Amino acid sequence: MAKKNFKELFDPKESKWGGISLPMFLAALVVVAIMVYVPFGLDKEGNPGSFLRPNFLIMFSALAVFGLLFGEIGDRIPIWNDFIGGGTILVFFMAAVFGTYHLVPEKFMEAVDVFYNKQPVNFLEMFIPALIVGSVLTVDRKTLIKSISGYIPLIVVGVFGASVCGMAVGFIFGKTPQDVMMNYVLPIMGGGTGAGAIPLSEIWSAKTGRPAGEWFGFAISILSIANIFAIICGALLKKVGEAKPSLTGNGELIIDNSKEAIRDKEVEVKPELTDTTAAFILTGILLMTAHILGELWSAFAKSHNIDFELHRLVFLILLTMFLNIANVVPDRLKAGAKRMQTFFSKHTIWILMAAVGFTTDVKEIIAAAAPSNILIALAIVLGAVGFIMLVARKMKFYPIEAAITAGLCMANRGGAGDVAVLGAADRMDLISFAQISSRIGGAMMLVFGSVLFSIFAS
């Protein structure tokens, strides 16, 4: 494939802006700018109104135009594209700058927040389930079975490596091991913000009797720094894999030399639109079932004083794994699921990254950007990556893919962080394993955090 260049991007005869020509893209950009920035009339409170109608289609298209603007440019900046993550990361950073420094109106920010992460829209709850179902259903059954017994121990290796390296660098700056574990390792390796830092802060508050925000404020800052390192590491590991092919499975996590392994059935079966539609409906039904199971588990845990949360995406992964292992899904439906996954992972990633960026506060990262904190966070991320790569091949995993999923996808901000890391590493097909890290690994860290806070928090 020919390398992307700026000349083709600004050639009006080419269609390099997400499949449309430069004149058409510029026209779309003008329309979006008018909708977002031009005041019009008054709102219900008597304040200046706008043309913004925050429904799904309009927000999807507006974020797509923003994503295409910086994504296509980012994919053509030589050093940035080669080592930082290209268009995916540039979209994220630029959206974060626009959001943090109020370069877009507050009403647009509110609409983005609903589109990305709140009911009734919550595009993230469409994006991640589509990737999970598409990727898990098309993993070879025997390969999937082999991964279950080996992947959880791989996560434990990553947490151990993160702890050892974090404490070693922390010691240089006068930090005690328990300080590093409670205030650095736990928030970074805890499964993200919603499923990690927030419940961990509540556990900390329950153990100390102090406000949860006292622990959470620093935790979210250090997690934000580690998340950036994890994204950059994902891009760097991609380059390492290109330079050292023996370290990577090129998107395959599990080393499988058996001849009976069957992969990529969507190549053998060409899906029709009805197959893709059916896969999308199946994804919705599975998510409904997972949500019901998650609510039932939550009620059971509360009634029995069990401090162990299981997110609905954990149940979604388990349900999809069961369907695959039981071999009850027809090949055409699997092929449709793969096509659905490809659509979301390849063609909507910049839309999601723009939404994630707009809801990320750059000031959070700056606030905790003391040299000691930066170096400890970096040590934790590199420790997880390094220890995993050392043992991955012995555990029948490819080192690059293992480090990305069991390491970097533990050391980021949960679901959105997984998307950013896998996007930077060009390993979006590994989303199911990334979710195992964020959800099941995160749940393990909640239990670990409860024990640590019980012993050391005061």
- Helix%, strand%, coil% for the chain, nearest 5: 75, 0, 25
Average pLDDT over residues 261-276: 66
**Cβ-count burial 182-196 (b if 16+ within 10 Å, e if not):** bbbbbbbbbbbbebb
pLDDT confidence band for 266 (50 / 70 / 90): very low
The answer to whether 384 touches 233, Cβ cutoff 8 Å, is no
Q: How confident is the model at residue 148 (pLDDT cuts 50, 70, 90)?
A: confident
pLDDT value for 244? 95
Query: What pLDDT shows up at residue 309?
Result: 63
Distance CA 20, CA 12 (A): 10
Distance of CA 277 to the CA centre of its chain: 25
Read off the pLDDT of residues 227-244 as tens digits, 9 standing for 90 and up.
Answer: 889 989 999 999 999 999
DSSP for 39-55, please give it: EEEE-TTSSEEES---S
Residue 446 DSSP class:
H
Those residues whose C-beta lies under 8 Å from the C-beta of residue 87, and which sit 6 or more positions away, are 70, 71, 72, 73, 74, 75, 81, 350
Residue given tokens 């507006």 in the structure block: 62
* pLDDT score for 259: 43
- What is the rounded CA–CA span in Å between residue 17 and residue 71? 9
Q: Are 95 and 353 in contact (CB under 8 A)?
A: yes
Give buried/exposed letters for 14-42 (b at 16+ CB in 10 A, else e). eebbbeeebeebeebeeebeebbeeeeee
Write down the pLDDT at residue 307: 63
For range 321-348, the mean pLDDT: 90
pLDDT tens for 106-141 read 999 999 989 987 788 888 889 888 988 888 887 777
- What is the pLDDT at residue 147? 67
What's the alpha-carbon Rg for the chain, to the nearest Å? 22
With a cut of 90, say whether residue 277 has pLDDT above it: yes
Angle 123-347-434 from CA coordinates, rounded to 5°: 65
Cβ contact 147:409 at 8 Å: no
Query: Count H helices, E strands: the chain?
Result: 23, 2
